[in-house]
């Protein structure tokens, strides 16, 4: 999955809509998605996930370390052999993994 695909996954999770040229969020248009480079873009996603984890899913743990690890029994498995070097990249990858898990496990 490319960076663009991962950002698209996040944008859709955040109820963004692509109009063929730009992403639209609550009436605001954006030509590019900046989740992997901007805390201003990423933190609202963290806040939405926190609300979901408390209200809808149960106990979900997010551990952010230089290497991603397998967390058994938490409902979320994060595996990667890639070394992650920045905090924003660690959070971004954890968010992508959570959204993939959430999309596969939520009730329809």
42-91 pLDDT, tens digit per residue, is: 999 988 888 876 444 445 555 544 444 444 444 444 445 456 678 888 88
Residues 32, 87: Cα–Cα separation, whole Å: 21
Which contiguous run of DSSP H or E holds residue 3? Answer: helix 3-13
Q: Which helix (H) or strand (E) is 42 found in, with range? A: helix 39-52
Residue 18's pLDDT is 95
Mean pLDDT of the chain: 78
Q: Strand, helix or coil at 83?
A: coil
CATH number for the 3-105 domain, one of 2.60.120, 3.30.2120, 1.10.10, 3.40.50? 3.30.2120
**pLDDT beyond 90 at 39:** yes
Residue 16 DSSP code: -
The 8-class DSSP code of residue 23 comes to E
pTM: 0.73
Q: Which residue, chain included where needed, has tokens 């890639």?
A: 82
């Amino acid at each position: 999955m490319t960076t663009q695909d991962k950002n698209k996954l996040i944008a859709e999770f955040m109820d963004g809509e692509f109009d063929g040229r730009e992403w639209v969020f609550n009436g605001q248009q954006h030509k590019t998605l900046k989740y992997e480079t901007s805390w201003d873009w990423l933190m609202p996603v963290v806040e939405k996930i926190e609300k979901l984890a408390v209200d809808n899913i149960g106990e979900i743990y997010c551990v952010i370390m230089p290497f991603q690890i397998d967390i058994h029994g938490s409902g979320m498995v994060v595996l990667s052999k890639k070394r992650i070097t920045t905090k924003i990249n660690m959070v971004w990858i954890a968010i992508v993994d959570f959204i993939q898990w959430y999309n596969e496990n939520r009730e329809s």
